Amino acid sequence: MGAVAGEVNATVLTAQIRKERRGAGAASFVLDVSIEASPGITILFGASGAGKSTLLDCVAGLARPDEGRIASAGDVLFDSARGIYVPPQKRRMAYVFQTLALFPHLSAEENVAYGLEDFPEEERREQVEAILKAFGVEKLRKQRPGEISGGEKQRIALARSLVTEPRVLLLDEPLTGLDAELKAAIVDDLRAWNTAKRIPILYVTHSREEVDALGERVIALDNGHVVSAGAPMEVLNAPRRKRLAQAAGFENLLSATVLDLREVDGVMRIRLGESACEIEVPLGYAAAGSRVQVAVRAGDILLATERPHGLSARNVIEGRMISLEQRGTMVIARVDCGVTFVVHITPGAVRALELTAGRRVWLILKTHSCHLVD
């Protein structure tokens, strides 16, 4: 077949997938994406229901796309135009499910050996031993999944998948429910393993923390479509879709009306909700009079007890403190400015500014902290 650009690098995974799901009752869902994953971790990020797991199922061959093409390391695994469909057992993919799906009736060792059935006994034993060691679970080899703790189960599931020398590793939120330290330790083991193997890893998550911790490259999905792709900072800091914004932790999501555009300055003025409150935001694809959504992180808002002067920030909004609520080492303040803003501040700031409910305050928003959402 012709030399396709994406196949020059032998280990790249490319997938163009279109799959329609006609749910009973629920609105039909269309997954329509084109992705490319090079060796290393590529994060698939999006709210639940965005189509992340369906995408992984299609790549693994557990679900069959209506249309499209999936190729890995130069081999075509699926091509609707040419009628190619390689069944999952022949794809040499590794897939770690959210539930891990360890075989409950087999020991850790037998679970790991499951994918090596075609190997001679001796070799199989060596490989199982080696991978159990690499993931630090060699002591558990005789135990069954029911007798093993959460983090160790995750390691065994990873070992079981990776011992087969897959060409792609698919991870569907495999580390949910683990504390940060354990998560980091497992990710380190995974990275160490992958420096030698250099395969693409597709890592599905809806957790922003995991994106920050793992991030090499992020593909953001919403409602079955890729909404943005690139480095984690670029993708997550400029959400273009409302649900992605919610998933990415934008606590303030406000509807607004566009008042006027100032192309020269690269900004436009909008009015928030039904209030008199007007702010300046980066120029977006919108006409004067149209409705838009604007997302602002609670941690990106400054709070002052006097009207500030001499600031570069363009948006200073007067309001009244509604409530202060301590959550761990952070205080969540709600401020009424005609619309309600959520602002995160430190307990120290609350004391220093003597903030109380009912107090008059000013919120300061940088223009570029206000993100326009489709």
Partner 1 sequence: MEALWLSTKLATCVAAILLVIGTPVAYWLAYSNWRGKFLLESLVALPLVLPPTVLGFYALVAMGPRGPLGKLWFALFGHGLAFTFGGLILASVLYSFPFAVQPLINSFEGVDRKLLDASVVLGAGSLRTFWRVILPLSLPGVVTAAVLSFAHTLGEFGVVLMVGGNLAGVTRTVSIDIYDRVQSLEYGAANRMALVLLAISFAVLSVVYAVNRRVWAPWPAK
Supply φ then ψ for residue 297, to 5 degrees: -75, 140
- Name the residue nearer to partner 1 (CB basis): 162 or 372: 162
| Nearer to partner 1 among residue 85 and residue 114 (C-beta) | 114
Which C-beta is closer to partner 1: that of 53 or that of 367? Answer: 53
Q: In 3D, which of 164, 193, 33, 175 has the Cα closest to residue 93? A: 164
3-state secondary structure of 323: strand
At a CB cut-off of 8 Å and minimum separation 6, what does 361 contact?
Answer: 303, 304, 305, 318, 319, 320, 321, 335, 355
169's CB contacts (< 8 A; 6+ apart) are 93, 94, 95, 96, 161, 162, 194, 199, 200, 201, 202
In the bound complex, what is the minimum distance in angstroms from residue 177's beta carbon to partner 1? 16
Indicate the residue among 199 and 236 with the shorter CB distance to partner 1: 199
Contact between 52 and partner 1 per CB under 8 A: no
Return phi, psi of residue 192, to 5°: -60, -45
Is residue 357 close enough to count as binding partner 1 by CB under 8 A? no
Query: Which one among 92, 144, 197, 242 touches partner 1, defined by CB under 8 A?
Result: 92
> In the complex, what is the shortest distance from the CB of residue 88 to partner 1, in angstroms, rounded to a whole number?
5
How many residues bind partner 1 (CB under 8 A)? The answer is 26
Contact between 362 and partner 1 per CB under 8 A: no
In the complex, least distance from residue 202 CB atom to partner 1, rounded to whole angstroms = 13
Contact between 209 and 178 under an 8 Å Cβ cutoff? The reply is no
Is 204:171 a contact under the CB 8 Å cutoff? yes
Query: Looking at beta carbons only, is 141 or 368 nearer to partner 1?
Result: 141
CA–centroid distance for 266 within its chain = 29
Minimum separation from the CB atom of position 95 to partner 1 (A):
5
**Among 9, 10, 82, 99, which residue sits at the site for partner 1 (rule: CB under 8 A)?**
99
Site track for partner 1 across 182-221, x = CB under 8 A: ----------------------------------------
Q: Which of 6, 40, 49, 88 binds partner 1 (CB under 8 A)?
A: 88
Q: From CA 1, how far away is CA 207, in angstroms rounded? A: 40
Tokens of 313: 């920030």
Question: Where does this chain touch partner 1 (CB under 8 A) — which range of 96-104, 146-154, 263-271, 302-310?
Answer: 96-104
370 close to 279: Cβ distance less than 8 angstroms: yes
Does position 101 interact with partner 1 (CB under 8 A)? The reply is yes
Binder among 12, 41, 43, 93 for partner 1 (CB under 8 A): 93
Using CB under 8 A, which of 7, 21, 40, 114 touches partner 1?
Answer: 114
Contact range with partner 1 by CB under 8 A, out of 26-34, 103-111, 201-209, 348-356? 103-111
Q: Where are the alpha helices (DSSP H) in 135-253?
A: 150-162, 180-197, 208-214, 232-237, 242-247
104, 146, 310, 328: residue in contact with partner 1 (rule CB under 8 A): 104
166 within 8 A of 93, measured Cβ to Cβ: yes
Least distance (Å) from partner 1 to the CB of residue 26? 19
Q: What is the 3-state secondary structure (H, E, C) of 234-258?
A: HHHHCCCCHHHHHHCCCCEEEEEEE
| Partner residues linked to 166 by β-bridges | none
**Binding residue (CB under 8 A) for partner 1 from 45, 46, 69, 95:** 95
**With binding defined as CB under 8 A, does residue 23 bind partner 1?**
no
How many CA atoms are closer than 13 Å to the CA of 241, on its beta-carbon side? 17
Angle at 120 between CA 116 and CA 126, to 5 degrees: 70
62 counts as binding partner 1 under rule CB under 8 A = yes
Residues that bind partner 1 (CB under 8 A): 60-62, 87-95, 97, 99, 101-105, 114-115, 117-118, 160-161, 164
